């Protein structure tokens, strides 16, 4: 009698599941390589408002727009400034990697077990426990 959980007949499905998860993980990692995950948080002014020498009246002195400015141009979109660990993509990929690792470990164990012959069949009760040999 084998104390192991039965893995019989699951070799192919386990292999396909492992392959799928690893494939998804790798494709996701390729996307991460292109993503801009290394941005530093934008610098914020640390000066107090008391130190702010700008006066509201100063604004009046400045022209609303510089001469020659094309008003039809839209401002460039702000660069994402949130840290990488706050992005959902990071956690999606991290989760996929963790799940993939677990599946690889479990699938690897199942595969190794199957490659070693899987489970030996149970001893026929008529044989009165006279079952011997490999796996017994």
Partner 1 sequence: MRAPRLVATWIVGLAALAGAGCNDFHYYDITVSFNINQSTGGYPQAEVATVQTLLFNVSGADSGSFRIGPNGEGLPLVAGATNLGTVEYATFADSGTLTFTVQAFNSTRTTPDCKTGEGTKAVMATSMSTTMDAVMINKTGAGCTQ
CA 104 to chain centre: 15
**88 is a contact residue toward partner 1 (CB under 8 A):** no
* 8 touches partner 1 (CB under 8 A): no
Residue 100 in the binding site for partner 1 (CB under 8 A): no
Should residue 34 be labelled a site residue for partner 1 when binding is judged by CB under 8 A? Answer: no
Rounded Cα distance between 76 and 54, Å, is: 26
Pick the binder of partner 1 from 93, 100, 103, 114 (CB under 8 A): 114
Near partner 1 in 10-29, by CB under 8 A: 11-12, 14-16, 18-19, 22-23, 26-27
Task: Give yes or no for residue 57 binding partner 1 (CB under 8 A).
Answer: no
Alpha carbon 15 to chain centroid, angstroms: 21
Q: Which residues contact 130 (CB under 8 A, 6 or more apart)?
A: 123
d(CA 87, CA 130) in angstroms, rounded, equals: 62
């Amino acid at each position: 009698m084998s104390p192991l959980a039965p893995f019989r007949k699951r070799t192919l499905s386990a292999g396909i599941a492992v392959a799928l998860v690893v494939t998804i993980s790798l494709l996701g990692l390729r996307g991460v390589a292109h993503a801009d995950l290394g941005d530093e948080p934008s610098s914020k002014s640390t000066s107090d408002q008391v130190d702010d020498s700008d006066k509201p009246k100063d604004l009046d002195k400045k022209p609303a727009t510089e001469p020659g400015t094309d008003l039809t141009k839209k401002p460039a979109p702000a660069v994402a400034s949130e840290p990488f660990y706050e992005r959902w993509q990071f956690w999606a990929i991290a989760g996929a990697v963790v799940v993939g690792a677990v599946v690889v470990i479990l699938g690897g164990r199942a595969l190794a077990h199957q490659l070693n012959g899987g489970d030996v069949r149970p001893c026929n009760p008529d044989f009165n426990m006279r079952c011997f040999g490999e796996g017994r």
